[in-house]
Amino acid sequence: MHLPLLPLALFSLAALPAVADEQDCRLDILHSAIETTHTFNLTVSCRGNYTPLTYLLRAKRRVNGVTLTDSQSGTLNIHGDSKTVGDIQIDLKPGDHIELEGRILQACEVLGETRLEFTR
């Protein structure tokens, strides 16, 4: 019988690092504007400890038939708190449309993402 291996297997599973899921972390894209300059940031909130996480904040817009992309990425550590990262600033004219995407990853695994569309 292989029963002596069962406690070892249970111990191994208990020692695995925490991985964020939909209930552990929340992503929000924040937007503010001063005149024509619009600023977008990504807020990551988690209940647990996640070290390190990689974030990506990407903004896409079309100007004269050409797609322009602005993006920011980096790493952050979450210890049951909230962090605001990224800082994309874009001058928008009336009628301009922008699509934003925020994403967090841990060891190349996407743990969460959010999207926002904005038209001035």
Q: What values do phi and psi take at 7, rounded to 5?
A: -60, -35
Name residue, tokens 């899921």: 21
* Domains along the chain with CATH numbers: 5-119 (2.60.40.2420)
Give me the amino acid identity at 70.
Answer: D
Contact 90, 38 (CB under 8 A): yes
- For residues 87 and 108, the model is more confident at 87
Q: What is the pTM for the complete model shown? A: 0.75
Please write the tens of the pLDDT for every residue from 77-99. Answer: 999 889 999 999 999 988 899 99
Note the pLDDT of residue 12.
38
